[in-house]
């Protein structure tokens, strides 16, 4: 989930502008009420309601982004502690719109990681999860395609990681070709299981170096 500095600035400025308009309309409404102009007061109250609604929408959207970033930060702290010879790339730009949260390259192979940070505590195989499985699987396949362009034919295994405290009963087995785990199981999966093909130390480093150009965070 990649957001640029300019994106954050736009959100902050728009939120501040809305707040100023809300304060202005409140002050204007209080002055009009003293004059007894009921129609003008009602119009200002309607404008006030619209502005507050817009502010609530922006706040909700930004809080969602912040929550997603916090989830990625929690996962990154785990990746930073992987054994020597494991590398990770963050915010990997896809050829299509969007990005891959993390790519891990190491002895166990090549992995893509899609991070979710939800309020729900129980993860079951429902419509929501099916949608996320398709997204994670597509990301792995796209990375495989990029690797072919770079001269590699390594398989890529997708992981769907939930950064919040959740209950997941799928175990260490893929669901529709995707591992679905909580963050506490991530290190074990990456270091004790294979993505489909083991890599030598030199291979892992070479792949990481070639993929670096697709991201600004590594």
What residue ranges do the domains of the chain occupy?
A: 5-68, 82-214
- Measure the CA–CA gap between 163 and 99, rounded to whole angstroms: 18
Cβ-based neighbours of 173, under 8 Å, separated by 6 or more: 179
Model pLDDT for residues 2-17, shown as the tens digit of each residue = 454 445 555 566 666 6
pTM: 0.74
Total H helices, total E strands in the chain: 5, 7
Model pLDDT for residues 126-141, shown as the tens digit of each residue = 999 999 999 999 999 9
pLDDT, residue 79, reads 97
Mean pLDDT by runs of 10 across the 218 residues of the chain is 51 65 65 62 70 67 70 94 96 79 97 91 91 96 95 97 91 94 96 95 95 73
pLDDT, residue 5, reads 47
Report CA dihedral (81, 82, 84, 87) to the nearest 10 degrees. -110
pLDDT, residue 129, reads 94
CA distances (Å), origin 162, targets 107, 143, 180 = 24, 21, 8
CA distances (Å), origin 200, targets 107, 192, 197, 204, 206 = 6, 15, 10, 6, 10
Residues paired with residue 102 on neighbouring β-strands, in sequence order = 90, 113
The class (CATH top level) of 82-214 is: alpha beta
pLDDT, residue 142, reads 95
- Measure the CA–CA gap between 161 and 145, rounded to whole angstroms: 23
């Amino acid at each position: 989930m990649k957001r640029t500095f300019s994106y954050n600035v736009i959100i902050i400025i728009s939120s501040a502008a809305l707040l100023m308009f809300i304060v202005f309309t409140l002050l204007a409404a209080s002055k009009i009420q003293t004059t007894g102009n009921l129609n003008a007061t009602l119009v200002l109250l309607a404008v006030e309601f619209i502005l507050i609604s817009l502010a609530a929408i922006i706040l909700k959207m930004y809080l969602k982004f912040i929550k997603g970033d916090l989830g990625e930060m929690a996962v990154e702290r785990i990746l930073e502690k992987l054994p020597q010879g494991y590398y990770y790339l963050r915010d990997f730009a896809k050829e299509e719109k969007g990005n891959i949260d993390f790519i891990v390259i190491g002895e166990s192979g090549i992995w893509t990681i899609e991070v979710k940070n939800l309020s729900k505590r129980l993860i079951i195989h429902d419509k929501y999860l099916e949608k996320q499985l398709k997204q994670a699987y597509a990301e792995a396949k796209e990375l495989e395609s990029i690797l072919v362009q770079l001269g590699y034919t390594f398989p890529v295994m997708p992981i769907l990681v939930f950064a919040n405290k959740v209950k997941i009963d799928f175990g260490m087995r893929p669901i529709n070709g995707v591992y679905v785990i909580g963050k506490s199981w991530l290190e074990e999966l990456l270091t004790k299981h294979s993505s489909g093909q083991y890599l030598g130390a030199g291979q892992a480093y070479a792949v990481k170096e070639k993929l670096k150009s697709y991201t600004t965070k590594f």
